[in-house]
Amino acid sequence: KGKNLLIQPILIAPEYRILMINNEVEVVHLKQMNYILGDGVQTLRELLNKKEKQEQDQTFIEQQLAKRNLTEDFILPNDEKFLCHITRFSSPHEYYTHEEISDLVVTWTKKLASQISMQTIGIDIFAPNGLHSPENFIIIELNANPAFEYFQRRYNDTDKMMSIAQSILTHYFNS
C-alpha cells in the first residue's frame, strides 16, 4: 500500500551529461556502458576474464547472452562490442567544451533550464539520434546540484575546473 514501482526496458542509446553553470552551457560529455571488444579469436569468457570484476554486472551479462542467444563460448567477431555492465561511465575521450557545443544543444538546454527556473544544472539525456537532434532527447535526470569536480580528475582539465569555479564565485559574490 502506498508504494510505487516503475518497470521499464533497459534503453541502449547514447547517453550524455549536459552541464550548465550560471546560464552558460559549459560542457557535454558522453557516458558509455562498459563493453568488451571482439578480436575474432577469443571467446566471450576469455575476453570477460580480462576485464576488472567491478566493470562487469553478471546479471546484465546473462541478459545480454540470452537476448542474443549466445553462450560465453561464443567467439566475438573482430571489432564487435558486447555490453557487460548496465552502469554508464564518463568517457574520458568524448567530451565537448563550451566552444564546441552546437547552438541547437545550447538553445535546448537554456530553454529547459528557463522553464524550471534553474541557472546551474546537470541534465542527463539519451540522444538516440545524436546531439544534432535535441527534439529527440530523452531526459533521464535533472541534477540541481551537479558534481563537476570530475573535470580535473576524469579529464585532467584543471584549467576548465578553475574556469567554472571562478564563474560560480563571480556570479554569487560579485553581483
What pLDDT shows up at residue 162? 72
What pLDDT shows up at residue 7? 75
pTM of the model: 0.67
C-alpha cell at 61: 551479462
Q: What is residue 92's DSSP assignment?
A: E
86's CB contacts (< 8 A; 6+ apart) are 10, 33, 57, 60
**CA distance linking residue 92 with residue 32, whole number of Å:** 10
Q: What is residue 170's DSSP assignment?
A: H
Per-residue pLDDT of the chain (175 residues; tens, 9 = 90+): 678 777 777 777 888 989 898 899 988 888 888 899 999 999 999 999 998 888 889 998 999 999 999 999 999 999 999 999 877 776 666 667 767 888 999 999 999 999 999 988 999 999 999 898 999 999 999 988 766 555 555 556 667 667 766 776 776 676 5
C-alpha cell at 146: 551537479
Dihedral over alpha carbons 55, 57, 58, 60 (to 10 degrees): -130
